[in-house]
Structure 1
Amino acid sequence: MDRFDWDHVCNTSDEGGRYSYAKQPEICKWNLFKFAEALQPIVPMNETKEILENNFYSIYSTEYKEKMLKKFGLFVSLSQTNGDLLSDDDLIQSFLDTMEKTGADFTNCFRALNILTVCGLESHKKSVKNLETELISQCSSLEEIIDANESSFDSQEFQLFLVLLQTNPQLLEMLGKGPKAIERVLAKMEKNKELKTMTSEQKRNEDSEHWEKWIDSYVNRIEYDVKEFASDLQELQNHNNKRLKVMNENNPIYVLRNYLAKEAIERAEAGDFSKVNHLLKILQNPYNECCDDTNPDKKDYYCKRPPLWANRLKVSCSS
């Protein structure tokens, strides 16, 4: 996934969105049930079903939040929102929502969070501005986000889903496209009407407002993390170093982006495997910046947002 979208589907054959990002917990549970069916000769289905029903979502939620806190560089969990201090769930939700609103790059936005230093350090104020600048640079252009939104509702399948929403919502759920997903697409349709009246500058200003608001919430959580030693500069620096290490170990620089895979495949089909080999080398160490002294520009090439021509690019099982 490049630009974040709750309803992102990585496989072009998954027209119903059964494996969309928003449905990952649900489909994970379904796959575990299928695994349990295969284990029936060893473990009775009634036993595994009870275990899954009673434990899956609580375990999933715990593991998901623990991973997300590492990606945010936060060490103190918060179960409830208290004024401007967002809970774990609300901070995660608002970050993902802000990425979707601005059409921001999923991988690069998470990695950019390491720019921010903890409150109390001399570099903190400047780092807040630098983070905002970087996050805005990872947002889709006006043209990109309009095109991306339209790809969600310009198919015959979506028109069929709209009919089913009114006539047979149960069947819609079975097809993997529940009412919430349809509502999100309808919201995108309304948003696109607004976007088409905007200028690029207006879109950028709106992106800036969204990210400024989220960064304020993020800074509040970091302050909460360090409140016990907020006046100890050495402890703050140690915490910042620890935070940076954890974040960089959980937020990759490089992922196998669809357009990079497409370029590598096309070259390989022509007998040139240099791009395949280079991609393989980079992806073997996705958390570390690649070294290419012969061509420094390549360092950024493999982690930049996709070009406009790749906006609707999807893979298939045969890819």
Structure 2
Amino acid sequence: MPFNLHGDDVCQPTPPTPIPNPYWVAFSPSVARLIGIELGADNFPNDPEWLGVLAGNQLNAGGLTFSNPISTVYSGHQFGSWAGQLGDGRAILLGDINNLELQLKGAGRTHYSRMGDGRAVLRSSIREFLCSEAMHALGIPTSRALALVGSKQAVRRETMETAAVCSRIAPSFIRVGHFEHFASLQNIVRLKELADLLIAEFYPECLANKEPYLDLFKEISARNAKLVAQWQSVGFCHGVLNSDNISALGLTIDYGPFGFLDQFEIDHICNHSDHGGRYAYHRQPQIMHWNMACLASAMLPLLGLEHSAEESQDLLRSTLEEFPVIYAKEWQRLFRSKLGLQSKEDGDTALIERLLQAMHDSKVDFTNFFRSLSNLKKDSKPIELMQRNEFIDRENIDQWLADYINRLQSEVLSDEERKGLMNQVNPKYILRNHLAQAAIEKAQQDDFSEVQTLQQILMQPFDEQEVFEHYSKPPPVDMQALAVSCSS
């Protein structure tokens, strides 16, 4: 369902700006099949016209015509401060295909580009393409990436780089910022239209509730509470959790200066533009809750259609207080699964928190340590386990391992059964920064093989893939401090 609110106060016609001599950098056959693009033997589109469409050079391919590309307006809070009107400064919505929105990122200026050029660069586009597909393979709600098209057109960021266009799909790219925009203008008509559109297309269960708008807020908040718990469970840091980057469908969107944890640091900051650490790993749940408070404030006028201002505030405040409860329940469930615990016991949360503190103190590799725990046996002895060698405080981790092994005694699964389940939730492969950087550097020399290899590996993150074993290793010492900025 495309963004179908019409009017120049909502969106603007935005034809893409062509790029010279486009070429394929990467392509996702699984996303292509979702939207009905016919593929050739090489797993690229049969119809060569798709290259032109996904580069932003034409609007016809595969018997389809995208006759009304648009960019939409929204507002939002950035780094905790009201930023006023924003909008799709680099994104152009081509239209609807198989009930999914197809959007081009980097296809030129839009009405909302402000001082920007509307372009994206190869570097950041590779990261978004790979991470969108990696997150999907990890089972985390996300926009998907269809294709990455490059061009030798020069684009200036900190240095001169080359242009790229990343095409992405989602059921909808409606975000918290859309609600904030209409609320800031006190445009209750548009606010209601937006809420009604979401309910009709994505939250029909809200119609059965006496308070459909309150129920809509509750559902959006719950989805995002569960989403951020999933991020925490795989060590994913978004980097820029501004309210305009938060999906109204509970999807991970707008991949910018993201990063996966290598060495576990509870306060890790993946965005070197985030000087105050607002969006550090341990603050992500708190900030998502804050963004839901922004949404509650924006939706307040909708409840005011049937309630007094005071009643509306009380209803939304009470619903907002459910966020940390939903988050905590989902976080506990996910980390129990990571430890192979099928049952619930009162001491489980403390056991998880003790482990994370020990990992933080010793900067243990997050992904590899959890993956390795599946090899423990119920009769293991802590002093014999290789995992203890990752920790500085051996006495502390030995005690934790002893308590964990003791906890496993109450589980009914065999060691092999537990291992199988743990290896389905603890990935072996993630998009580590140093891997992405190596792929980017090759691509900047017109060698896209590493991008495509990473794509292949990351689509099967839980499999052993022995031939790619070295991609599961932590970064070398000189690559451990890689950080990414908002520049793209």
Q: Which amino acid aligns with 2:290?
A: W
Tell me whether 1:216 sits opposite 2:483 in the alignment. Answer: no
Residues 120-140 of structure 1 deviation map (CA, whole Å, 9 limit, x = unaligned): xxxx45xx556x31452xx3x
Q: For 2:473 and 2:319, locate their aligned partners in 1 and report how far apart those are by CA, in whole Å.
A: 43
1:1-319 map, 5 Å: 1-40=261-300, 42-43=302-303, 46=313, 47-53=315-321, 55-79=322-346, 87-119=347-379, 124-125=380-381, 128=382, 132-136=385-389, 139=390, 206-226=392-412, 238-292=413-467, 299-318=468-487
* Structure 1 residue 277, shift from structure 2 partner: 0.7
Do the aligned partners of residues 59 and 265 (structure 1) sit closer, same or farther apart at CA in structure 2, a change above 3 Å counting?
Answer: same
Determine the structure 2 residue equivalent to 1:161.
none
Distance 1:210 1:71 in 2: 20
Taking the aligned partners of 2:277 and 2:410, their CA distance within structure 1 comes to 38
TM-score, normalization by structure 2: 0.42
Summarize deviations over 1:71-129 as a string: whole Å, max 9, x none: 000122122xxxxxxx112111111111112121011111010011224xxxx45xx55
Please identify the structure whose Cα radius of gyration is greater.
2
Superposed displacement of residue 26, structure 1: 0.6
Could you say if the C-alpha distance between residues 301 and 318 of structure 1 is closer, same or farther in structure 2, counting changes exceeding 3 Å? farther
Q: What is the rounded CA distance, in whole Å, between the counterparts of 2:318 and 2:354 in structure 1?
A: 33
Alpha-carbon distance, 1:22 to partner: 1.8
User: How many residues are matched?
Assistant: 220
Residue in structure 2 matched with residue 168 of structure 1 by the alignment: none
Q: 1:194: which partner in 2?
A: none
Q: Which amino acid aligns with 2:470?
A: Y
Residues 112 and 135, structure 1, Cα contact 8 Å, conserved in 2: no
Distance 2:408 2:416 in 1: 14
Q: What amino acid maps onto 1:208 in structure 2?
A: R
1:314 CA displacement: 1.1
After superposition, the Cα gap between the structure-2 partners of 1:19 and 1:135, relative to the gap in structure 1 and judged at 3 Å, is farther
- For the residues of structure 2 that align with 1:111 and 1:52, how far apart are their CA atoms? 35
5+ long unaligned stretches in structure 1: 80-86, 140-203, 227-237, 293-298
- Cα distance change of structure 1 residues 249 and 135 upon mapping to structure 2, 3 Å threshold: farther
SS of 1:74's partner is coil
CA contact (8 A) 1:19 1:27 kept: yes
Kindly provide the amino acid, as one letter, of the partner of residue 440 in structure 2. Answer: I
Q: Distance in 1 between matches of 2:449 and 2:371?
A: 27
**TM-score of the superposed pair, with normalisation by structure 1:** 0.63
Q: Which has the higher strand share?
A: 2
**Which residue identity is paired with 1:222?**
L
Displacement of 1:41? 6.0
Structure of greater relative contact order (alpha carbons < 8 Å, 6+ residues apart): 1
Report SS of the residue matched to 1:250: coil
1:38 deviates by 4.8
Q: Distance in 2 between matches of 1:118 and 1:51?
A: 42
Partner residue of 1:177? none
SS at match of 1:225: coil
After superposition, the Cα gap between the structure-2 partners of 1:43 and 1:3, relative to the gap in structure 1 and judged at 3 Å, is: farther
CA contact (8 A) 2:374 2:423 kept: yes
**Structure with the bigger percentage of helix:** 1
C-alpha contact (below 8 Å) 1:109/1:135 kept by paired residues: no
Q: CA deviation at 1:283?
A: 0.7
- Name the % identity: 39
Looking at structure 1, the residues matched to 363 and 325 of structure 2 have their Cα atoms a distance apart, in angstroms, of 30
Alpha-carbon distance in 1 for matches of 2:432, 2:334: 22
CA RMSD of aligned residues (A): 2.2
Kindly state the Cα deviation for residue 313 of structure 1 after the two structures are TM-superposed. 1.0
Alignment partners' CA distance in 2, 1:282 and 1:312: 23
Local SS of the residue matching 2:410:
helix
